[in-house]
Structure 1
Amino acid sequence: MLKYGYLAGLITPVWLVIGVAIAGSLYPGYSHLNQAMSELGALGAPTHELSPLINNFPLGVLFVVFGIAVFAVFKGSALARSSGVLIVLHGVASLCTGYFSCDVGCGLEHPSDSQNLHNLSGMVMFLTLLLASTLWIYLATRVLGLKWFAWFSLACTLVALLVLPLMGQAVAAGEGFGLYQRINYGASILWVGVFAWVLKPMSSTH
């Protein structure tokens, strides 16, 4: 059963790219460079109902399945298992961001309760994968004997962190946020895909 968990992790980056591309193509005038991914599912958006169905919900399930596989395979390391729990929590938060839509345009002034819950879930999504990749900076060499994966985890963690100020500047400037958000989340979800690829050979031994 572990191989299905690793497969779930492997396909998450591809699923995200395809899902966002499809939703964006059905949203007239949508800008991947300037608009947040959350705007695809915002109230009043032409893809309000579709976007969660092809993005947040299936991705949430994929993360949960992969996180359970990570938890199951590392019986001898509490830290490694905790990274699996973090990935599961990321999946649950993804489901919540789909269920609780942001307001039209996802503006930060006078947000509705739904948008507040959406934003909170988005923060949990960011922190859980950031913490998971940070753990594997330490664990990769000690648990898997893979120094390159430790460096890769460090690179993905740093990219996700360093782009945060650019996201803030983009909000103030009114342009570029979509690009920086995609770099931020892309680094984390790429880490998930590579992590799943690293673990995939272990499915034949468990």
Structure 2
Amino acid sequence: MRTIDRVLLGAGLLIPFWLFFGVLLTARQFPGYSHVDLAMSQLGAVGAPTHDVSPWLNNLPLGVLFVLCGLGVWRRFQGARLAAVSALLVMLHGLASISAGYFPCDQGCLPAEPSLSQRLHNLSGLVMFLSLTLASTLWIFLARRLLGSPGFAWFCLLCTGLTLVTVGLMAEALESGHGFGLYQRLNYGIAVAWLAVLAWLSRGDAVLPPSNP
């Protein structure tokens, strides 16, 4: 395996740590911020004390890391069309992350009349959710064929299921006004953990040639 491919896939291993510490450090500059109740988007919302720093510390670097990791997956599994689709979905997620930072949500992130920036932020968030969820779903079927790993196939199924469950909990929390931040962090944490495991396994030597490109 070439060094460039290891470096690209290594970006996927870095993502969970960057996400954790980036959000933690940004939130420390936001008096009264609650990781349990408030969305991560509120760190970059219009009028927030961390409005200027959050996109540069979180959305932009994370977006670049996702794009690099997606490129690494694409290079590692050349010839496997569904793997290429999953790689493009990971890269799309990275671009949507950058977009979500460039278009901040309105103050409080729940305006009665959302601005264009808020609507584009919401669209970017939807693309982020769908892209990684679809990518993990594809690897339920690709894990055995390309990695020879039934265990990873089950892990993908578990992560996809938990992602759907937690997004439902996010919707309920949005209605009640409590717990949204916690469920959002669980939701995204599961997604980036899945990608980190894929990146780790892809860096190994047990990658099999695609049987049906």
User: How high is the TM-score relative to the length of structure 1?
Assistant: 0.96
Bigger shift: residues 189-198 or 124-133: 189-198
Question: Counterpart amino acid of 2:84?
Answer: R
Would you say the 8 A contact 2:76–2:202 is kept in 1? no
Cα deviation, 1:126-161, whole Å, max 9, x if unaligned, reads 000000000000100111100111011111101110
Q: How far apart, in 1, do the equivalents of 2:10 and 2:111 lie?
A: 37
1:102-181 equivalences under 5 Å are: 102-181=105-184
Question: Counterpart amino acid of 1:164?
Answer: V
After TM superposition, give the deviation of residue 108 of structure 1 in Å: 4.7
After TM superposition, give the deviation of residue 109 of structure 1 in Å: 2.1
Q: How far apart, in 1, do the equivalents of 2:195 and 2:32 lie?
A: 31
Q: Which runs of 5+ in 2 are unaligned?
A: 207-213
Other structure's SS at 1:105 match: coil
Question: Counterpart amino acid of 1:56?
Answer: N
After TM superposition, give the deviation of residue 76 of structure 1 in Å: 2.2
Question: Counterpart amino acid of 1:78?
Answer: R
1:72 to 2:92 alignment? no
Cα RMSD between the aligned structures?
A: 1.5
Q: Which runs of 5+ in 1 are unaligned?
A: none
* Identity among equivalent pairs (%): 53
User: How high is the TM-score relative to the length of structure 2?
Assistant: 0.93
Q: How far apart, in 2, do the equivalents of 1:86 and 1:108 lie?
A: 30
After TM superposition, give the deviation of residue 184 of structure 1 in Å: 0.9
**Which residue of structure 1 aligns with residue 210 of structure 2?**
none
Cα deviation, 1:28-47, whole Å, max 9, x if unaligned, reads 00000000000000000000
**Which residue of structure 2 aligns with residue 46 of structure 1?**
49
Q: How far apart, in 2, do the equivalents of 1:94 and 1:36 lie?
A: 14
Q: Paired residues, what number?
A: 205
